Amino acid sequence: MRTIGLIGGMSWESTQHYYRLINEGVRDRLGGLHSAELVLVSVDFAVIERLQQAGDWDRAGASLADAACRLEAAGADCVLLCTNTMHRVADAVAGAVGIPLLHLADATAERLVAAGIGRVALLGTRYTMEQDFYRARLEASGLDVRVPDTDGRAALQSIIFDELCRGEVREQSRERVLAEIDALATGGAEAVIAGCTELTLLLDPSQVALPLFDTTAIHAESAVDFALATKAVA
């Protein structure tokens, strides 16, 4: 079994889901008392969030690249950024180590294309929805990516940072996010990407009008594939 390296803490509320899903995935495939071999570096999200706010992506990238180096030194065979937004600095992280970075957007795009989805709604932080570091990788796979309007993007940003990252799950926020999904479905979206790891704390697939693609679960599964060598990774 290969060792999985996780860069977490952004926020720790979602990182714990990565840990659970990866261990459950290994157990389900191997049976018995099997669990994943992994290494975790958990960063202080307050520091990273301040760099996001300041637009200082270079320093944020350097910080996470250092975390990746620590994972490699500890014996990790791959790196996962346990966050959608911080894939903004994925190239800096990947370039700092000699082990592969399993890119969340690539794994998600692969799953969408395999499902025959062409037009998809993307929900996440303002950075993920408005910048091209994430959307461009989805679009490179032939996907037509839609996002909420300005007010909807602002609402999602507030819900994620002011509530979900603090472990708060509010019914009125769930209703607001579901309303955004309904609007995007009316506009032609065929599926929705929960493009923020914290959104999985809020959304139950049974309540969503469209097929829901949970990036945390997809990313965790790609890590299990890698660890058990059932899938080649460049």
In DSSP terms, 122 is beta-bridged to 193
Catalytic hit among 15, 83, 128, 200: 83
* Among 85, 119, 125, CA closest to 105: 85
8 Å CB contact between 213 and 193: yes
Structure tokens at 94: 């990947």
Mark whether 196 is an active-site residue: yes
d(CA 100, CA 94): 7
8 Å CB contact between 42 and 12: yes
Mark whether 83 is an active-site residue: yes
Catalytic hit among 108, 196, 200, 216: 196
Catalytic residues: 83, 196
